[in-house]
Amino acid sequence: MSNLFSTDSGVGKHFKHSGFSSTILDSYVTVYDNGIGLRDQNILGCGYAGEKYTQQSGFSDTITASITSFGGQPTSVGWDGSNVLGGLRLNDVIYKGTGFTTTISGSFNAPSTEPRQVSWGNGNLYSADYAQKLYLHNGFSATITASITAPASQTAAIWRASDDGNIMTNSESTDKIYKLDGFTTSILDSFTTPGDLSNGVAWLYTEDILASSRMLLGVGV
């Protein structure tokens, strides 16, 4: 089954949802609650506390790796398949590291002020801006292919589902997580967040898990 993950700095937790729903299957307390991402099946987190990016063991509070963030007030952590991605609220810059390190291999100014979540999908960067904007970039670059207005203000999340291409986002003003019909403003579904300050989302598709397992086993490659 595919699962949504979310982070909430209001309650200091990461949540595992049942599919795209408000039903919580599991959660754990974390100080790395300002952003969430996925590296294969492992949760990535980031937090103002210690200004770090972390990699968890699957969905758990066990940290298997941690690195200092690109700078002050990290609001997001992502993974492009090979490298860590991150955005900073302090200077409104989006960064790409080298592997899971903060040795910078690329950076550019965010499309607007206060960038929130950055994520990777279908070969392109996606970014969310607190001023109610969602952006599709051309690869990892400042070039914007498309942008849309998010469902509500104080937007902090964006994730492109690999199975159907739908976009997941949120609003801190409504305390809701939304599923959009592709990269459009049409809302397919929504629910109230489990906490009171949702900062990011991630979606783990069942086939992505199977593909990762096949790669590790050398099956079909």
| Structural domains of the chain, with CATH | 3-217 (2.120.10.30)
pTM for this predicted structure: 0.92
Task: For 138-180, write each residue's pLDDT tens digit.
Answer: 999 999 999 999 999 999 999 999 889 999 999 999 999 999 9
Question: Over the chain, what is the mean pLDDT?
Answer: 92
Q: What pLDDT sits at residue 207?
A: 62
Rounded distance, CA 146 to CA 196, Å?
A: 30
Question: Is 181 within 8 Å of 169 (Cβ atoms)?
Answer: no
Closest CA relative to residue 135, chosen from 149, 114, 153: 149
Sheet containing 35-39, strands listed edge to edge, beginning at the edge strand earlier in sequence:
35-39, 42-47, 52-56, 63-68
